């Protein structure tokens, strides 16, 4: 981004102003996440940087909130984490299964009414969550699954499938169908062709769709708020209650763990995206 | 071609055309069968329940089924003067059953929505009706309370006769049907919903605008920087994108609190006095700041993916043809980014208009949106039919936005990441 030597002063000033604006926006985007990190190691109970922390005094830092998160008396985080993972894993499996199969059908050029069906399949993503929440609640309550894990899993499958459908159809758009035809002509049955040829090629898309579905379920509050009873509380629900009632440093410890988790997911997603682009041969 | 021309046959002796058609049909069915499981699943668990929301929002059967005989007797009543004895008798018979089943409280609540003052007279009637003698119910009921002799109350009951109603939708825009059947606004002091709709639109609009103003420069920077720097900066966009919504909201709650870092900073640079720190949370400011940061990646990503495809030589060409950098930008670069702008704005606006969690946590009373009202009726007042009506009004709004967008930009022009 170095400016050419002949740049006039006014454009030079303008350019530095532009860089300054960009810096501010980047700080605005990322800084909030880094506030949580040091405060979760605060030795005191207040959610402000203590004088000791500003002096980097080792005594001002402690792991007590992490200790509290894991061993604290009647703390809900253990149960919430267990529930969150169970629900997210099963919801992801369901979304990936239904979504991938549907994407295979959708990318066939023989598919009738493609636009309409695509609109229905991705509708849970484009309809505001609160409306989806109300509708799903009515269904789950009607079939008597309110307050059960199964009910929450079923509703998260609804919210997760659009991501899988979109990522897998995107991967399939660059898919060379002659390879599956070649396999068939060599005597492979459709299931075998799918497992040996198609699946490995679209796997990056499937996994990144799965990641989206996992994050959607893991971070979902609105539907769970309508559906969950006390025994199927999840991490977002606990954070929601905590933030509404009293912002305690334990929440920050949990939040830090979640940020670490999202870094892991980000890295995985990024690696997958690059791999997928390489396979589809569109890497730049 | 003459009809005698021999049709091309496959080896089985079937005309090729037919054979191909058959294969085509088979492929169609195959493709459809693959989509069918998800389609069915979504229809049952999602699309039909949205239809169910509609039925619920217009459903008014509760009163209809509670007073079947009354409404039957009322069919002949013109509503001008007090109804005849048979209506009173039918009402007495219906009400006796409700009292026996102990469900008359529900009726009282429902009728009280229609006209204030029903609750007490129904309660009184429930006590007194036990001693009623047979015959001449009109007089006996009217003796319980003088309001029973007021024709207004009987008209109010009659208004609840239809099984369906659009009153919940009227309530959603602060209107109601008055006694003469005219649609009028509620009193000034009770007009809450219209204000809420306007505020939702206002916040969604300004959040979209703020996101656009902030996202455009950084998307441009990301698209023009060499790969190794832009990848690093991209993390700043993607990390918040993948981080839990509640974590981001929590961090804003810490930053914006009165003793928080933003206020500390303002005091430090001398913008505000230490003893006069502004309230930046639990009001509109909190909602604006937090929502803008949370939705910013949704604007950056589509913009970035469009800008990435614009060749830098176009700008150079514009400049070499005598345009100043500003002219070159405005005439060449900017028009090419419109699909990205459209996609980003649509995405952010639609997400913002249905936002619930963040406004509920940092918005306080003045920064909450229509979704908060829907959730409130779902969880607290349990007026599910009203929540459904409001939800559907929001949904229609969102679909209208998609429609307009499709007309203006074309939905196929959307590029997402």
Summarised one tens digit per residue, pLDDT across range B93-140 is 888 888 888 888 888 888 887 778 888 888 888 888 888 888 788 888
CB B45 to CB A215 under 8 A? no
CB-defined contacts A:B, below 8 A: 252
Q: Give per-residue pLDDT as tens, A168-177.
A: 988 888 788 8
| Banded pLDDT at B410 (limits 50, 70, 90) | low
Q: Which helix (H) or strand (E) holds B232?
A: helix B227-242
- Are A29 and B240 inside 8 Å of each other by CB? yes
Using CB atoms and an 8 Å cut-off, which of residues 82-141 of chain B contact chain A? Answer: none
Looking only at Cα atoms, what is the longest distance across chain A? 74
Rounded Cα distance, A83 and A231, in Å: 9
Shortest CA distance from B352: residue in chain A: A128
Task: Render pLDDT for A11-32 as a digit per residue (tens, 0 to 9).
Answer: 888 889 999 999 999 999 998 8
Q: pLDDT tens-digit profile of B177-212?
A: 776 677 888 887 778 888 899 999 999 999 999 999
For residue A283, name the pLDDT band (cuts at 50, 70, 90). Answer: very low
B189 and A CB contact within 8 Å:
no
Choosing from A8, A32, A62, the residue where a domain stops is: A62
Is B231's pLDDT higher than 80?
yes
Q: What is the pLDDT of residue A110?
A: 80
List B164's β-bridge partners, or say none: B59
Contact A29 B296 (CB under 8 A): yes
Contacts of A92 (CB under 8 A, 6+ apart): A160, A210, A213, A214, A217
Taking CB atoms and an 8 Å limit, are B251 and A102 in contact across chains? Answer: no
Contact B24 A32 (CB under 8 A): no
Q: Are A240 and A225 in contact (CB under 8 A)?
A: yes
Q: What is the pLDDT of residue A74?
A: 67
Q: What is the DSSP letter of B333?
A: I
Question: Helix or strand or coil: residue B184?
Answer: strand
Test B247 with A39 for CB contact under 8 angstroms: no
Contact B342, B415 (CB under 8 A): no
Segment B268-291 shows an average pLDDT of: 84
Neighbouring C-beta atoms of residue A57, cutoff 10 Å: 12
Verify whether the Cβ–Cβ distance A134 to B34 is below 8 Å: no
Report chain A residues whose CB lies below 8 A from the CB of B24.
Answer: 110
Whether B255 sits inside 8 A of A32 (CB atoms) is: yes
Residues A170 and A139 in one domain: yes
CB A136 within 8 A of CB B49: yes
Token code pair at residue A22 = 């960009």
| B146: its two tokens | 């003088």
Cα–Cα distance for residue pair A215/B243, rounded to 1 Å: 9
User: What pLDDT score was predicted for residue A97?
Assistant: 95
Q: How confident is the model at residue B412 (pLDDT cuts 50, 70, 90)?
A: low
**pLDDT given for residue B46 in this prediction:** 93
C-alpha count within 13 angstroms, C-beta hemisphere, residue A133: 28
- Contact at 8 Å (CB) between B136 and B85? yes
**In this structure, are residues A235 and A81 in contact, taking their beta carbons and an 8 Å threshold?**
yes
Helix axes A149-173, A129-142, angle to 10 degrees: 130
Tokens representing A83 are: 């529930």
- A281 pLDDT band, cuts 50/70/90, is low
Q: Has residue B230 got a pLDDT over 90? A: no
CA atoms of A134 and A139, how far apart (whole Å): 9
Same domain, A52 and A109: no
Residue B417: predicted pLDDT? 39
- Domain count along chain A: 2
At B209 the pLDDT is 96
Q: Which own/partner contact pairs does B88-91 have at CB distance under 8 Å and 24+ positions apart? A: B88/B137, B88/B138, B88/B141, B89/B137, B89/B138, B91/B67, B91/B137, B91/B141, B91/B157
Helix axes B227-242, A9-39, angle to 10 degrees: 40
Counting beta carbons within 10 angstroms of the beta carbon of residue B6, is it exposed (0 to 12), middle (13 to 18) or buried (19 or more)? exposed
Q: Within a domain: residue A259?
A: yes
- A61 Rama sector, left if φ>0, alpha if ψ -120 to 50, beta otherwise: beta
- Same domain for A53 and A83, yes or no, is no
Listed residue (B273, B351, B264, B340) closest to B301, CA to CA: B340
Q: Specify if A252 maps to a domain.
A: yes
- Check if B361 contacts A (Cβ < 8 Å): yes
CA–CA separation, B30 vs B218, rounded Å?
Answer: 46
Helix, coil or strand: residue A155: helix
pLDDT in tens, B358-375: 998 888 888 788 898 899
What's the mean pLDDT when you consider all of chain A?
A: 86
**What is the predicted pLDDT for the residue at B4?**
53
Residues A126 and A44 in one domain: no
Residue A27 in domain: yes
* Whether A38 and A85 share a structural domain: no
Mean of the pLDDT values across residues B13-26? 86
Please tell me which residue of chain B has the smallest CA distance to A1.
B225
Strand partners, B183: B177
Residue B5 has pLDDT above 70, yes or no: no
Question: pLDDT band at A103, cuts 50/70/90?
Answer: very high
Q: CA separation (Å) from A32 to A26, A38, A262, B106, B265?
A: 11, 11, 15, 49, 14
* A218 → chain B, closest CA residue: B244
A53 found inside a domain = yes
Task: With CA atoms as reference, report the closest residue to B343 among B398, B406, B294, B399.
Answer: B406
Q: Using the beta-carbon criterion (under 8 Å), do A255 and B251 form an inter-chain contact?
A: yes
Per-residue pLDDT, B119 = 84
If asked whether residues A156 and A232 sit together in one domain, one would say: yes
One domain, residues A208 and A252:
yes
> With b meaning 16 or more CB within 10 Å and e meaning fewer, what string describes B172-183?
bbbbbeeeeeee
Binding-face residues of B in 255-284 toward A, CB within 8 A? 255, 257, 259-261
pLDDT tens, residue by residue, A141-160: 999 988 899 999 999 999 99
Whether A1 maps to a domain, the answer reads no
pLDDT over 60 (residue B233): yes
pLDDT at position A282 over 70: no
Taking CB atoms and an 8 Å cutoff, what residues of chain A touch B249? 243
Establish if A73 belongs to a structural domain.
no
Taking residues B266-274, report their average pLDDT: 82
Domain boundary among A62, A91, A117: A62
Q: Where are the alpha helices (DSSP H) in chain A?
A: 9-39, 51-54, 64-71, 77-106, 114-126, 129-142, 149-173, 178-185, 190-193, 199-218, 222-227, 235-245, 249-279
pLDDT band at A137 (very low <50, low <70, confident <90, very high): very high
Q: Is the pLDDT of residue B3 over 60?
A: no
The answer to whether B307 contacts chain A (CB < 8 Å) is no
**Measured over all CA atoms, what is the biggest interatomic distance in chain B, rounded to whole angstroms?**
102
Q: Which domain CATH number covers A275?
A: 1.10.3720.10
Which residues in chain A are closer than 8 Å to B293, comparing Cβ atoms? Answer: 28-29, 32
- Cβ atoms of A45 and A249 within 8 Å: the answer is yes
From A30, A62, A94, the end of a domain falls on: A62
Give the structural domain span for A258. 78-279
* Mean predicted confidence (pLDDT) in B349-360: 90
How many CB atoms neighbour CB A223 within 10 A? Answer: 24
From the centroid of its chain, how far is CA A256?
A: 16
A266/B31 CB distance under 8 A: no
Q: Within 13 Å and on the Cβ side, how many CA atoms surround B335?
A: 7
On average, the pLDDT of chain B sits at 85
CATH homologous superfamily of B193-413 equals MetI-like (1.10.3720.10)
Is the pLDDT assigned to residue A191 strictly greater than 70?
yes
Asked if A113 and A57 sit in the same domain, the reply is: no
- What ipTM describes this predicted complex? 0.86
Domain boundaries, chain B: 7-51, 61-161, 193-413
Among the residue ranges A232-246, B170-184, B301-315, B391-405, the one predicted with the least confidence is: B170-184
Distance from B67 to chain A by nearest Cα, in Å? Answer: 26
Closest-CA residue of chain A to B243:
A262
Answer whether residue B278 shows pLDDT above 70: yes
Residue A128 lies in a domain: yes
**A122 contacts B416 by C-beta, under 8 angstroms:** no
Among the partner-chain residues A19, A35, A117, the one whose CB lies closest to the CB of B39 is A117
């Amino acid at each position: 981004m170095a400016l050419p030597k002949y740049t006039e002063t006014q454009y030079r000033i303008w350019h530095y102003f532009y860089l300054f604006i960009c810096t501010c926006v980047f700080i605005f985007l990322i800084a909030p996440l880094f506030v949580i990190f040091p405060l979760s190691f605060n030795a005191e109970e207040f959610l402000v940087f203590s004088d000791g922390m500003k002096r980097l005094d080792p005594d001002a830092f402690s792991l007590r909130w992490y200790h509290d998160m894991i061993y604290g008396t009647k703390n809900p985080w253990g149960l919430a984490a267990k529930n969150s993972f169970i629900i997210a894993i099963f919801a992801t499996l369901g979304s990936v299964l239904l979504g991938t199969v549907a994407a295979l059908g959708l990318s066939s050029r023989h598919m009738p009414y493609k636009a309409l069906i695509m609109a229905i399949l991705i509708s849970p993503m484009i309809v505001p969550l609160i409306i989806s929440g109300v509708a799903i609640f009515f269904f789950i309550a009607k079939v008597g699954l309110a307050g059960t894990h199964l009910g929450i899993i079923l509703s998260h499958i609804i919210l997760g499938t659009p991501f899988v459908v979109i990522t897998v159809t995107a991967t399939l758009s660059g898919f060379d169908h002659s390879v599956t035809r070649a396999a068939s002509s060599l005597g492979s049955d459709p299931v075998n062709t799918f497992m040996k040829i198609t699946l490995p090629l679209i796997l990056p898309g499937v996994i990144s769709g799965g990641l989206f579905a996992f994050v959607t379920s893991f971070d979902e509050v609105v539907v769970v708020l309508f559906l969950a009873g006390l025994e199927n509380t999840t991490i977002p629900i606990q954070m929601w209650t905590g933030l509404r009632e009293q912002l305690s440093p334990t929440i920050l410890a949990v939040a830090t763990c979640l940020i670490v988790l999202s870094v892991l997911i980000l890295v995985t997603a990024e690696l997958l995206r690059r791999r997928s682009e390489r396979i589809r041969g569109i890497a730049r | 071609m003459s009809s005698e021309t021999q049709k091309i046959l496959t080896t089985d002796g079937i005309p090729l055309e037919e054979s191909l058609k058959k294969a085509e049909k088979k492929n169609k069915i195959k493709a459809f069968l693959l989509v069918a499981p998800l389609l069915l699943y979504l229809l049952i668990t999602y699309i039909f329940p949205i239809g169910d929301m509609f039925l619920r929002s217009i459903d008014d059967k509760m009163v209809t089924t509670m007073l079947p005989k009354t409404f039957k007797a009322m069919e002949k009543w013109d509503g001008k003067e007090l109804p005849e004895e048979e209506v009173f008798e039918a009402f007495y018979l219906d009400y006796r059953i409700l009292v026996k089943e102990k469900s008359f409280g529900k009726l009282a609540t429902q009728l009280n929505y229609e006209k204030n003052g029903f609750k007490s007279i129904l309660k009184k009637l429930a006590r007194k009706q036990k001693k009623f003698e047979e015959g001449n119910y009109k007089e006996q009921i009217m003796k319980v309370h003088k309001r029973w002799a007021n024709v207004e109350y009987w008209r109010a009951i009659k208004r609840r006769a239809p099984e369906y109603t659009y009153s919940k939708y009227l309530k959603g825009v602060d209107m109601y049907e008055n006694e003469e059947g005219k649609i009028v606004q509620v009193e000034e002091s009770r007009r809450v919903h219209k204000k809420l709709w306007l505020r939702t639109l206002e916040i969604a609009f300004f959040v979209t605008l703020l996101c656009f103003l902030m996202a455009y420069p950084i998307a441009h920077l990301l698209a023009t920087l060499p790969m190794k720097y832009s990848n690093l900066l991209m993390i700043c966009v993607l990390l918040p994108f993948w981080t839990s919504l509640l974590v981001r909201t929590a961090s804003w709650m810490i930053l914006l609190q009165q003793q928080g870092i933003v206020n500390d900073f303002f005091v430090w640079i001398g913008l505000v006095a230490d003893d006069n720190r502004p309230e930046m949370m639990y009001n509109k400011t909190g909602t604006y700041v937090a929502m803008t940061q949370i939705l910013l990646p949704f604007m950056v990503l589509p913009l970035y993916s469009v800008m990435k495809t614009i060749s830098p030589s176009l700008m150079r060409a514009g400049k070499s043809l005598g345009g100043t950098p500003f002219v070159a930008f405005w005439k060449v670069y900017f028009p090419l980014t419109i699909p990205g702008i459209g996609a980003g704005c649509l995405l952010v606006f639609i997400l913002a208009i249905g936002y619930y969690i963040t406004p509920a946590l940092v918005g306080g009373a003045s920064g909450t949106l229509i979704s908060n009202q829907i959730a409130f009726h779902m969880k607290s007042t349990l007026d599910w039919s009203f929540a459904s009506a409001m939800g559907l009004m929001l949904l229609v709004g969102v679909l209208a936005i998609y429609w307009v967008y499709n007309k203006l930009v074309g939905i196929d022009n959307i590029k997402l990441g």
